[in-house]
């Protein structure tokens, strides 16, 4: 379809991610284009954000077994994207939705607005993402695979304890020292 080829990298990356049929990545159902807007109709996910559901858990954390189930789904989505040369660049709990309200609902990765295509071995030099999920050293330009590993570790830590490994205070303290 010509439309996908002539559109910006953002939209192309977004469609590449969403058009794929992976159980842990939100499906793109339809695309509509007007004179000035592009409308994306995605799979309906009724279960809410992972972060919000975490807040509803006893003691504000999942059991280790439940956490393992969720992290496995998150990593499966990341592995799938990386195997197709796509990097998400904004991994956080808010970018995972549950497909339904059931307790054992599957996760869906969403929000590919910062995603882009990459080549293996290519170092990423852009500091993008949500500040509270980014390790301070990322802002020194030490990106590449470290970026995604850090985000996965941060998400796992939050799932187990509802504690951020990198707070805004620690970020600003680090930035001030530099």
Active site residues: 90
Residue-wise over 67-101: b if at least 16 C-beta within 10 A, else e?
A: beebbebbebbbebbeeeebbbbbbbbebbbbbee
For 101, half-sphere exposure in the C-beta direction (CA atoms, 13 angstrom radius) is 1
Output phi, psi for 33, to 5 deg: -125, 130
Q: What tokens were used for 56?
A: 């509803």
Residue 25, helix vs strand vs coil: strand
Quote the tokens at residue 105: 């609902």
Query: What tokens does 77 get?
Result: 């989505």
How many other β-carbons are positioned within 10 Å of the β-carbon of residue 122?
A: 11
């Amino acid at each position: 379809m010509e439309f996908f080829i002539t559109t910006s990298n953002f939209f192309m990356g977004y469609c590449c991610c969403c058009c794929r049929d992976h159980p842990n990545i939100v499906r793109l159902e339809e695309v509509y284009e007007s004179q000035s807007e592009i409308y994306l109709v995605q799979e309906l996910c009724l279960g809410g954000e992972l972060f919000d559901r975490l807040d509803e858990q006893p003691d504000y954390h999942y059991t280790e077994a439940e956490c393992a189930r969720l992290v496995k789904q998150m990593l499966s989505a990341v592995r799938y994207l990386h195997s197709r040369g796509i990097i998400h660049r904004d991994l956080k709990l808010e970018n995972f939705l549950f497909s339904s309200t059931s307790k054992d609902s599957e996760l869906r990765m969403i929000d590919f607005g910062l995603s882009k295509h990459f080549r293996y071995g290519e170092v990423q030099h852009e500091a993008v993402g949500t500040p509270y999920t980014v390790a301070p050293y990322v802002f020194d330009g030490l990106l590449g695979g470290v970026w995604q590993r850090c985000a996965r570790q941060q998400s796992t830590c939050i799932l187990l304890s509802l504690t951020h490994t990198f707070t805004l205070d620690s970020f600003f303290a680090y930035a001030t020292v530099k």
